[in-house]
Amino acid sequence: MKLAQLLKPIGTLAVACSMALTGLTTHAQEEDTIKVGVLHSLSGTMAISETTLKDTMLMLIEEQNKKGGLLGKQLEAVVVDPASDWPLFAEKTRELITQEEVDAIFGCWTSVSRKSVLPVIEELNGILFYPVQYEGEESSRNVFYTGAAPNQQAIPAVNYLMNEVGIKRWVLAGTDYVYPRTTNKILEAYLKANGVSDEDIMINYTPFGHSDWQNIVSDIKRFGSQGKPTAVVSTINGDANVPFYRELGNQGVSAEDIPVVAFSVGEEELSGIDTKPLVGHLAAWNYFMSVDTDQNEAFIEKWHDFIGSEERVTNDPMEAHYIGFNMWVKAVEKAGTTDTDAVIDAMVGVKVPNLTGGISEMLPNHHIEKPVHIGEIQDNGQFLTVWQTEDLVPGDAWSDYLEGSKDLIADWTDPVNCGNYNTKTKQCLGAAPAAE
């Protein structure tokens, strides 16, 4: 047998070994990343709001990787689409943690999606950063609430309308799910505590994706024609806002007649409609794209470069992801690991700049400090700030205006280490209540 024939099997074996080693190396390289879950609806009724948040996370992760990553590793985004299907949020969360082995999840918009995720994230001991305003009445060790609590949005907005505009009658209009119902429950109690009678409060709920607003807007006009200044406090969510505002314009409901203050309508939602009939209507957020700070200017420039269009707007939940992501990075660096328990402990007390010129801190109740801005819609789809708090407002997980809640605090540090600690009985009440 010739030498070449003798060497052929050895060569084949060497190639096979080399391929196997290459495969192992590739697998090791794949594992040598820190995975970040991105859990936002890219289809369905909430895609109008959530798709931009997915893009925001991709931008933040790319920017961090350009800085050298985290703990010597590159970050890897794992994007899933729960498709505005609330039970699917839970399934996708389980998939992200058990199959993809992500170290943190940034996601959800609606409270019903967050409520769906909550038992899974707690069972599997994951971390969720939730970037949208919510109704409070909840606290989880595994969730960091970077959006506004009611005392950072809803209550200041009502105070502004009551004290600065002189509103006497109130329409509480919302989408039919936990966030509007609980927020309106808080607002109704607050209004009554401030002398507003039952007959001066109108409450209305509509399904997700509701499109026929003619009768409801007619009812609002009728309610506002009783000789008392009237306003609409809107917790309408998702793409239902487009026909709602269109119908206001169709029926000539101007901000001078019945101002609307919205908690779920920002620059992104307004970018798809004709805003001229809506000029003067209001929104309450903790950030507007029009805020004039160096930090915001730099953020907008990076966003436009990343997305490839100067027409794309920024909004409040984007800033909440910006704050939450930077806090997570600092906490991981502080802990020296992505281990869930170590990062959760390291998060409290972390401070990062926000985009409005202040410094936000993660509090022991897993909420952050935020300014409050009231803005008027302009004909270009932007907001003109007409009022803002002088200082940052600490988020409060439990309402001071609801029986059963006003004595509760959340504090995830020792010795309390509880999400619903009763300050009178000195007892931890246990798990938070389920969604309504």
Of 138-142, 264-268, 417-421, the range with the lowest mean pLDDT is 264-268
Predicted confidence at residue 9, as pLDDT, reads 44
Asked if residue 286 has pLDDT above 90, the reply is yes
The Cβ of residue 24 has, within 10 Å, a number of other Cβ atoms equal to 10
Mean pLDDT calculated for residue range 373-397: 95
Q: What phi and psi values does residue 51 have, to the nearest 5 degrees? A: -60, -40
Residues 6+ apart with CB under 8 A from 213: 243, 244, 246, 247
Give the pair of three-digit tokens for residue 81.
């689409």
Predicted confidence at residue 276, as pLDDT, reads 82
Predicted confidence at residue 249, as pLDDT, reads 86
Asked if residue 8 has pLDDT above 60, the reply is no
Mean pLDDT calculated for residue range 424-431: 87
Beta bridge partners of 75: 34
Asked if residue 2 has pLDDT above 60, the reply is no
Alpha helix segments (H runs only) across 41-176 = 47-66, 86-94, 111-123, 154-160
H or E stretch covering 376: strand 373-377
Asked if residue 204 has pLDDT above 90, the reply is yes
Asked if residue 435 has pLDDT above 80, the reply is no
Mean pLDDT of the chain: 91
Mean pLDDT calculated for residue range 401-422: 95
Asked if residue 3 has pLDDT above 70, the reply is no
**Residue 131 CA to its chain's centroid (Å):** 2
Q: What phi and psi values does residue 260 have, to the nearest 5 degrees? A: -110, 130
**Residue 222 CA to its chain's centroid (Å):** 34
Please report where in the chains the tokens 């400090």 appear, as a residue.
369
Mean pLDDT calculated for residue range 334-349: 98
pLDDT band at 270 (very low <50, low <70, confident <90, very high): confident
Q: How buried is residue 71: exposed, middle or buried, by Cβ count under 10 Å (0-12/13-18/19+)?
A: middle
State how far the Cα of 58 lies from the Cα of 48, in Å rounded to an integer.
Answer: 17
State how far the Cα of 241 lies from the Cα of 235, in Å rounded to an integer.
Answer: 10
- String of DSSP letters for 306-332: HHT-TT----HHHHHHHHHHHHHHHHH
Mean pLDDT calculated for residue range 80-104: 98
pLDDT band at 31 (very low <50, low <70, confident <90, very high): low
Residues 6+ apart with CB under 8 A from 167: 161, 229, 230, 231, 259
| Largest Cα–Cα separation, the chain | 109
pLDDT band at 265 (very low <50, low <70, confident <90, very high): confident
Q: How buried is residue 242: exposed, middle or buried, by Cβ count under 10 Å (0-12/13-18/19+)?
A: middle
pLDDT band at 64 (very low <50, low <70, confident <90, very high): very high
Asked if residue 7 has pLDDT above 80, the reply is no
What tens digit of pLDDT does each residue of 126-170 get?
999 999 999 999 999 999 999 999 999 999 999 999 999 999 999
pLDDT band at 74 (very low <50, low <70, confident <90, very high): very high
Asked if residue 6 has pLDDT above 80, the reply is no
**Residue 109 CA to its chain's centroid (Å):** 5
Mean pLDDT calculated for residue range 375-384: 94
Asked if residue 207 has pLDDT above 80, the reply is yes
Sign, Cα dihedral of 97, 99, 101, 107 = negative
Q: Would you report the helix, strand and coil content of the chain in percent, each value rounded to 5?
A: 40, 20, 40
pTM: 0.88
Give the pair of three-digit tokens for residue 306.
């990343």
Q: What phi and psi values does residue 254 have, to the nearest 5 degrees? A: -95, 170
Predicted confidence at residue 29, as pLDDT, reads 42
What tens digit of pLDDT does each residue of 312-324 get?
999 999 999 999 9
H or E stretch covering 15: helix 3-31
What tens digit of pLDDT does each residue of 349-371 get?
999 999 999 999 999 999 999 99
Asked if residue 109 has pLDDT above 50, the reply is yes
Asked if residue 239 has pLDDT above 90, the reply is no
Predicted confidence at residue 431, as pLDDT, reads 57
CATH 3.40.50.2300: does it fit domain 151-285?
Answer: yes
Predicted confidence at residue 359, as pLDDT, reads 96
